[in-house]
Chains A and B, each alone.
Chain A
Amino acid sequence: MSMAATQVVRSEWTKIRSVASTVWTLGLAVVVTIALGMLISALSKSEFDNMGREDQLTFDPTFISFAGTSLGQLAMIVFGVLVVANEYSTGMIRTSLAAVPKRGTFLFSKIAVATALALVVSMITSFATFFLGQAMLGDLKASIGDPGVLRAVFGGGLYMTLIAMFSMGVAAMLRSPMLSLGILMPFFFLISNILGNVPATEKVGRFLPDQAGSKIMQVVAPLDDDVPYGPWGGLGIMALWVIAALVGGYAVLKKRDA
């Protein structure tokens, strides 16, 4: 890393640690993911005896414990959006680019710092979610040593990190926190789920970033599973979405006036 980039990374770290939104978005992501995962794990255990034979056979205790991700990822989206788009909404972008006129260095230093922080928080969240969720599942629980489980837990951390990165790219393209959140939140909470589960759109919907990426957290595949990619393939598809968003964000920053 060049001297200048080291300076900018230090500067971006100061920026990210000195605003309250970093703490509350990441804090919320941790709490919501773990709490909801524990709740749904506990409910699944008590409902297990009432489940159909088929559901009992494909019961996936690891995946169940990650149920809180669907809501916790929204806080991760807010984190990713605010890190980038707050530069625009506050007017800070002009000060930032006057200090660091190399726009690529500016954007990718910012994204590197925010991603590193998101990765640490996501990994801690993912392992905590797994172990606490399994504790709720009692005798139905999976062990971290079981085949595919460590991959799923590790992958859960990567999934959350990639969601944050995707949001950073989208925010860099749209340059407004409200617009970015207004598109990303309903998309990941509702629209993607609908597209991925309705038979008519299922075949396309499963290539959306969250649908493809969440495959990594699955250990037991459903019976009629015809998804054309595996856990790492799914995460790879999600990574392609992230790269596309970041390239788009960089192109916009490079081209537009600040």
Chain B
Amino acid sequence: MIELEGLTKRYGEKVAVNNLSFTVRPGIITGFLGPNGAGKSTTMRMVLGLDRPTAGDVRIDGKHYDQLKDPLTYIGALLEAKAWHGGRSAYNHLLCLAQSNGIPTRRVREVLDTVGLTAVAKKKTKGFSLGMGQRLGIAAALLGDPRILMFDEPVNGLDPEGIHWIRNLMKTLASQGRTVFVSSHLMSEMALTADHLVVIGQGRLLADTSMADFIAENSRSYVRIRTPQRERLLDVLHGEGVTAVEAGEVLEVDGDKAEAVGELAARHQIVLYELSPQRASLEEAFMQLTAESVEYHAHDGQPAGPVPPGQQQQQQQQWGSEWRKG
């Protein structure tokens, strides 16, 4: 279990991570989603005690990272594509990590085998492809057989086979009751792997919800209509109390109303070229969600005069609660 409480990181004036509080629970995959630069990597570095929080706290199974004895046996992390000396062999890289945490040497061979790097174990890592590098990073994370795993953008730069492998690995790890915390900037990737979703934008928490709820709340369904008798249809719909939005050449009606609109058009003898139920993609929902956070910040920076701290907080709360209402 990873618990973040009011975690904040400031670099001078810039706030990279802003008052983040959430819990990563065992037995499921928790997706950590946000656009590039949202503060995901900074948050993960603070979990590992690499960066010191400006304010707030993060605990692993109730302890600070530097209080963990042999931390690699508690939490394994894949931080970025390359966090090792390229002149050292994969075997020796893992060996020095194993020794530092009192992990038996045989684990080095085991994890090399798990990630499929046994054949290149004695080769210098600077010759490794991006995919091989990711596999070595994952081998290092698995080395101490930890109960918690944290992966920062694990599918970056991987081929389809590698992506498939990582997805299955994460699912297996979660099914063994481990805590799996994985970041991504791709909603589509998260939709396939994560059970729970934490979304951040501009370092701020935007959502902390189950994947199922997120899909239910965010995939707006509507009916797309194309007709040569646009004005008449609009009048008829208006008469029935149905709101239609004009989107360029087409009309859009919110909700699952394809049948109702079709029957209405037939009754009034209106010609329809197209009548199709649509569902907005999760990707769109995610972009909308994070775009709002960017927008909010843009207003914040306007020289219209400083917002009193109390009001600012209120604004923030309202904005957050609005989102939760869906």
Contacts and interface: CB of A to CB of B under 8 A. Distances in A.
Contact of A258 (B50, B72, B95, B102): B50
Interface of B: 45, 48-52, 65-66, 68-72, 77, 79-80, 82-89, 92, 95-97, 99-102, 140
A86 B85 contact: yes
Contacts of A102: 66
Interface of A: 3-4, 7-8, 10-12, 14-15, 18-21, 86-87, 90-92, 94-102, 257-258
A124 B8 CA distance: 53
The A interface is mostly helix, strand or loop, or mixed, namely: helix
A99 B88 CA distance: 17
Q: Which 3 A-B pairs have the closest CB atoms?
A: A11-B100, A18-B92, A101-B66
Contacts of A14: 92, 95-96, 99
B71 A15 contact: no
The B interface is mostly helix, strand or loop, or mixed, namely: loop
A105 B80 CA distance: 24
A199 to B, nearest CB: 46
Contacts of B140: 95
5 contacts: A19-B87, A19-B88, A92-B83, A95-B83, A97-B49
Contacts of A10: 99-100
A97 B50 CA distance: 7
Contacts of B100: 7-8, 10-11, 96, 99-100
B20 to A, nearest CB: 17
Nearest to B92: A18
A110 B48 CA distance: 21
B13 to A, nearest CB: 17
B71 A90 contact: no
Nearest to B98: A11
A98 B79 contact: yes
Contacts of A95: 79, 83-84, 97, 140
A14 B79 CA distance: 22
A97 B69 CA distance: 13
Contact of A98 (B77, B82, B88, B92): B77
A83 to B, nearest CB: 11
B92 A11 contact: no
B69, B70, B72, B99: most-surrounded residue (chain A CB, <10 A): B99
Contacts of B97: 11, 95, 99
A20 B87 contact: yes
Nearest to B64: A101
Nearest to A14: B96
Nearest to A91: B83
Contacts of A94: 45, 48, 50, 79-80, 83
A98 B87 contact: no
Given A11-B99, A14-B96, A257-B50, 16 more contacts: A7-B99, A8-B100, A11-B100, A14-B92, A14-B99, A15-B96, A19-B85, A94-B45, A94-B83, A95-B84, A97-B48, A97-B49, A98-B50, A99-B71, A101-B66, A257-B52
Contacts of B65: 101
B77, B80, B88: most-surrounded residue (chain A CB, <10 A): B88
Contact of A92 (B77, B85, B95): B85
Nearest to A15: B96
A4 B99 CA distance: 10
A91 B96 contact: no
B214 to A, nearest CB: 30
Contacts of A257: 45, 50-52
Contact of B89 (A18, A91, A92, A96): A18
Contacts of B85: 15, 19, 86-87, 90, 92
Contacts of B77: 98
Contacts of A258: 45, 50-51
Nearest to B88: A18
A91, A94, A95, A257: most-surrounded residue (chain B CB, <10 A): A95
Nearest to A4: B69
A120 B32 CA distance: 50
B183 to A, nearest CB: 15
A68 B82 CA distance: 39
Nearest to B95: A14
A237 B273 CA distance: 92
A100 B99 CA distance: 11
A12, A92, A98: most-surrounded residue (chain B CB, <10 A): A98
Contacts of A99: 71-72, 97, 100-101
A101 B96 contact: no
Nearest to B143: A99
A209 B48 CA distance: 38
A99 B85 CA distance: 15
A12 B96 CA distance: 7
Given A19-B87, A90-B86, A98 B71 contact: yes
Nearest to A258: B50
